[in-house]
Amino acid sequence: MGPDAPELADTEIELGRALLEAGRGAEAVAPLEDALRRLARDPHPEGLLAQARFTLARALGRRAARAQTLARDARAGFVAADASDELAALDAWLGTR
């Protein structure tokens, strides 16, 4: 597996999530951006892309315009993937603007 392998996206999402949960949102942005780039290049499960988008939206913060766009795109992905738990978490986050 090379350094650009799409399989690394899941690890980058988990790293971003861990950094975010540790209160290090600014540091979470880089691995999440990398995950989105990887997922854009290769076929991927819609739910995984939605996770990357939602986690990056959270890292950017509710007030960022890009975060709102990412959250809306993530919502559509969670609906398509029938990921009800993730959809509920995203809707709760959106409702706290």
pLDDT tens track, the chain, 97 positions: 666 677 899 999 999 999 999 999 999 999 999 999 999 887 778 899 999 999 999 999 988 999 999 999 999 999 999 999 999 999 999 985 4
Which two tokens mark 30? 């880089």
Give residue 97's pLDDT.
Answer: 46
Q: Tell me, what's the pLDDT at 4?
A: 67
Domain positions in the chain are: 8-94
| Single pTM value for the model | 0.90
pLDDT value, residue 96: 58
Q: Which CATH number fits domain 8-94: 3.90.380, 1.25.40, 3.40.50, 1.10.10?
A: 1.25.40
